[in-house]
Amino acid sequence: MNTWETLSQIDCKPRTKKKGNLSYLSWTWAWAEVMNKYPTANYEFEPPVFFSDSSCEVWVAVTIEEVTRKMWLPVMDNRNNSVLNPSSRQIGDCRMRCLTKCLAMFGLGHHIYAGEDIPDQAPVDHSKIIAQYQACADQDGRNAVWANTTEDQKTAINGAPQ
């Protein structure tokens, strides 16, 4: 298996933490998983990049089996707003989040960055739902409700509470 296939199959969900409505993966656990599979992997941080507004971003390069990928991340507060004049602690913390983000580029926890921290649900088969509602409407003599187009019916169903 290639690196992506190996790392993307690791179940990260039990190791994620929630902060607000976002999921995070511990960098220590993520790096341990990489080292278990690829003990020669390494990473290197580039100097922080400062911008004219005093904000900052960090960069990391990760190499696994002769493939190097780079990733960047702005230094942010807990609401994902740029931090102006960040402290060395804020830069250091951001570097480790950036490392974890870069590992996702190799497959480890990539679903977290796609907002897919919950399993995909099967697509809704609207035709079955519409048929069930039509059957109920026919029994109650209210078939006129379903005189709309199929697209109107799908819109009404998609907008209904689960």
Residue 119 inside a domain? The answer is no
- What is the rounded average pLDDT of the residues 52-80? 95
Which residue range(s) make up the domain with 144? Answer: 126-158
Higher pLDDT, residue 130 or 96: 96
Check whether residue 60 and residue 133 sit in a common domain. no
Strands (E), 42-100: 42-45, 49-50, 56-64, 67-74
User: Which of 23-27, 81-85, 144-148 shows the highest mean pLDDT?
Assistant: 81-85
The C-alpha atoms of residue 17 and residue 2 are separated, in whole angstroms, by 28
Look at residue 60 and tell me if it is in a domain: yes
| Domain contains 118 | no
Cα-based angle 90, 94, 95 (whole degrees, multiple of 5): 120
Domain CATH for 85: 3.30.160
Q: How many domains are there within the chain?
A: 2
If asked whether residues 77 and 154 sit together in one domain, one would say no
Specify whether 131 is located in the same domain as 54.
Answer: no
42-71 mean pLDDT: 97
